[in-house]
């Protein structure tokens, strides 16, 4: 799922970063932001699984 780049959001993200931020820092912030938004979209669309179901699938204790 690709989202449209909103320049105002990009500028705001950069403006909130410290003056000594690196390109890696910026890429990490973009990755985290997109991951959160995708997770929220999945949740709203009902594309989630119960923790118990996932733990059972992988043989993990509850």
The count of domains in the chain is 1
pLDDT at 2: 58
60: left (phi over 0), alpha (psi -120 to 50) or beta: beta
Is 62 a domain residue?
yes
Look up the domain containing 42 and give its range. Answer: 23-62
Distances (CA, A) of 51 to 14, 37, 55, 57, 60: 35, 20, 6, 10, 10
Question: Tens digit of pLDDT for each residue in 1-59?
Answer: 556 778 998 999 999 999 999 999 999 999 999 999 999 999 999 999 999 999 999 99
pLDDT at 5: 73
Is 44 a domain residue?
yes
Is 12 a domain residue?
no
Predicted model pTM: 0.69
Is 54 a domain residue?
yes
Is 4 a domain residue?
no
pLDDT at 27: 96
Distances (CA, A) of 36 to 27, 28, 43, 56, 57: 14, 12, 11, 25, 24
Question: What is the average pLDDT value for the chain, to the nearest integer?
Answer: 92
Is 45 a domain residue?
yes
């Amino acid at each position: 799922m690709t989202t449209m780049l909103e320049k105002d959001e990009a500028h705001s993200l950069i403006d909130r970063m410290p003056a000594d931020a690196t390109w890696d820092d910026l890429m990490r912030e973009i990755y985290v932001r997109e991951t959160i938004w995708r997770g929220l979209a999945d949740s709203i669309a009902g594309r989630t699984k119960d923790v118990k179901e996932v733990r059972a699938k992988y043989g993990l204790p509850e």
